């Protein structure tokens, strides 16, 4: 008899794991309490990038006089939202087909462990008990709610609720300048919203190198985003039918920010509540993530975890790899390496990074090659010359160990360097690879050339 496998959560990790296991003639049941595709497809990665694209087109139409382009464009945001929803619905429909072809049984409801070999599926009306041999927890993550700022879909929004809006406010106050706040703030600002952002730390995108965030902050300010650093949002008041956010600095001094709506983007946390993990041997760490080994197996030998719930970075492409490792482990097949996970921020300009950050180089062991978009012909033709690319490599072996990029299409350009790092390639291999001209990819070639005594090319 084939092995019975339960997968809880149909987001990036759960869908991949379920399909992969079912292809090996196991009996797979996929449990999802909401929508196929999870947060990423429905209210995260995909719709936010659709809105970023729409807002960029609108913004460019109004700001291309130097190119001889003038337009009297307007935005029908309800129509934009409808287009975004259609994109999501098409992809969601596509996500179901491979699962059904593989023979996955999809059940709607919540999955609750009654033991290490049995789960209860509750659809709100009925309960069904299912025994299993192996289970994969892929329940993802959820937004963090601030004290005194409960999400009410009206005055205070989380990222999901903002993405689901059909009408934008005139004024928006964003709490948190991390990647979600910066991306959605960019959407709003480019569509004409008066955006104010308050951040507890002293910079946007906390944790990112200031060399990378400098052009992003410059562009955001040019878009009209008003940043206030070193402030903590403490209270929301209503006065004369106006929402007012109270924020204070380290000294306790308060400042008031009037706004129409508040968007809270202070991070996400693993979604483990309600799984009844106490009925298993599964353990979570101090941050709430499920503890796993290199095979994504938890402390309970029957149960695995993958995706956001299994630890940072909480990224969809990391979840895909987790799912492959977990499913291959269950199927007793060779697992791929953990790999180097690239990070991308879809701001304007975009930022990407993989491997060891060049900002953390060891001067005695590492060296860095740099190149600037202001010296890239393709960047000039796109009228986007802000930013740079950096490659960190071993001085002795010239092996590439890390890289980062800020500039146009940084989200696409990073993958040449991902490939180089995964295959232990050196800067010479980049230099010896012919890059088409004129393309943005030549920024990688130029950074590699500048890493050593190599011939250089002109614009």
Name residue 103's beta-bridge partners: none
How far is CA 46 from its chain centroid? 10
Residues 273 and 133 in one domain: yes
Residue 454 has pLDDT above 70, yes or no: no
Residues 225 and 90 in one domain: no
Element (H, E) at 381: helix 377-381
Give the residue numbers annotated as catalytic, written as ranges: 437
Residues 322 and 379 in one domain: no
> Which tokens sit at 19?
């399909």
Average pLDDT, the chain: 96
> Which tokens sit at 427?
């800067």
Residues 185 and 126 in one domain: no
User: What integer pLDDT is reported at residue 172 of this predicted model?
Assistant: 99
Residues 409 and 317 in one domain: no
In a domain, 303, yes or no: yes
User: Maximum Cα–Cα distance for the chain, whole Å?
Assistant: 70
Residues 11 and 136 in one domain: yes
In a domain, 151, yes or no: no
User: What integer pLDDT is reported at residue 15 of this predicted model?
Assistant: 98
- In percent, the amount of the chain with pLDDT more than 70 equals 98
Residues 318 and 250 in one domain: no
The answer to whether 14 and 38 have CB atoms below 8 angstroms apart is yes
User: What integer pLDDT is reported at residue 2 of this predicted model?
Assistant: 78
Element (H, E) at 389: strand 388-394
Residues 293 and 428 in one domain: no
Residues 123 and 27 in one domain: yes
Q: What digits encode the pLDDT tens for the residues 387-398?
A: 999 999 999 999
Q: What digits encode the pLDDT tens for the residues 292-307?
A: 999 999 999 999 999 9
Can you tell me which residue has the tokens 């890239």?
A: 376
CA angle 337, 342, 347 (to 5 degrees): 165
> Which tokens sit at 208?
């990112």
Residues 33 and 103 in one domain: yes
pLDDT category at 361 given cuts 50, 70, 90 is: confident
* pTM, entire model: 0.95
The answer to whether 220 and 182 have CB atoms below 8 angstroms apart is yes
Q: What digits encode the pLDDT tens for the residues 130-144?
A: 999 999 999 999 999
Residue 459 has pLDDT above 50, yes or no: yes
In a domain, 236, yes or no: yes
| Parent domain of 376 | 349-449
């Amino acid at each position: 008899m084939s092995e019975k496998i339960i997968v809880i959560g149909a987001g990036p990790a759960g869908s991949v794991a379920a399909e992969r296991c079912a292809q090996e003639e196991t009996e797979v049941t996929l449990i999802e309490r909401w929508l196929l595709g999870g947060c990423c497809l429905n209210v995260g990665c995909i719709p936010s990038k659709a809105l970023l694209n729409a807002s960029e087109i609108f913004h460019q139409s109004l700001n291309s006089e130097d190119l001889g382009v003038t337009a009297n464009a307007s935005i029908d945001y309800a129509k934009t939202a409808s287009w975004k929803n259609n994109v999501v619905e098409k992809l969601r429909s596509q996500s179901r087909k491979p699962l059904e072809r593989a023979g996955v049984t999809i059940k709607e409801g919540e999955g609750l462990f009654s033991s290490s070999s049995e789960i209860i599926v509750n659809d709100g009306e009925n309960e069904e008990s299912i025994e299993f041999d192996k289970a994969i927890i892929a329940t993802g993550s959820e937004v963090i709610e601030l004290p005194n700022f409960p999400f009410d879909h009206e005055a205070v929004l989380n990222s999901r609720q903002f993405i689901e809006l059909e009408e934008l406010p005139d004024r928006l106050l964003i709490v948190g300048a991390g990647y979600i706040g910066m991306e959605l703030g960019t959407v709003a600002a480019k569509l004409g919203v008066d955006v104010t952002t308050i951040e507890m730390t002293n910079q946007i995108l906390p944790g990112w190198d200031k060399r990378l965030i400098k052009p992003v902050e410059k562009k955001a300010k040019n878009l009209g985003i008003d940043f206030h650093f070193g402030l903590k949002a403490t209270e929301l008041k209503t006065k004369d039918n106006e929402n007012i956010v109270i924020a204070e600095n380290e000294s306790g001094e308060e400042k008031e920010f009037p706004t129409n709506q508040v968007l809270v983007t202070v991070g996400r946390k693993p979604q483990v509540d309600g799984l009844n993990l106490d009925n298993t041997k599964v353990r979570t760490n101090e941050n709430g993530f499920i503890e796993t080994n290199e095979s994504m197996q938890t402390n309970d030998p029957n149960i695995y975890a993958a995706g956001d719930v299994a630890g940072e970075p909480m990224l969809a492409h990391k979840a895909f790899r987790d799912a492959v490792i977990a499913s291959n482990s269950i199927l007793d097949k060779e697992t791929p390496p953990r790999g180097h996970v690239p990070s991308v921020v879809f701001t304007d300009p975009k930022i990407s990074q993989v491997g060891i950050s060049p900002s953390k180089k060891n001067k005695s062991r590492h060296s860095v090659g740099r190149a600037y978009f202001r010296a890239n012909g393709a960047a000039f033709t796109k009228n986007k010359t802000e930013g740079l690319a950096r490659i960190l490599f071993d001085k002795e072996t010239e092996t590439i160990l890390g890289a980062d990029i800020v500039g146009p299409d940084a989200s696409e350009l990073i993958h040449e360097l991902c490939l180089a790092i995964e295959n232990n390639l050196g800067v010479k291999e980049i230099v010896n690879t012919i890059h088409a001209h004129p393309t943005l990819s030549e920024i990688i070639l130029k950074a590699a050339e500048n890493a050593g005594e190599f011939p250089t090319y002109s614009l």
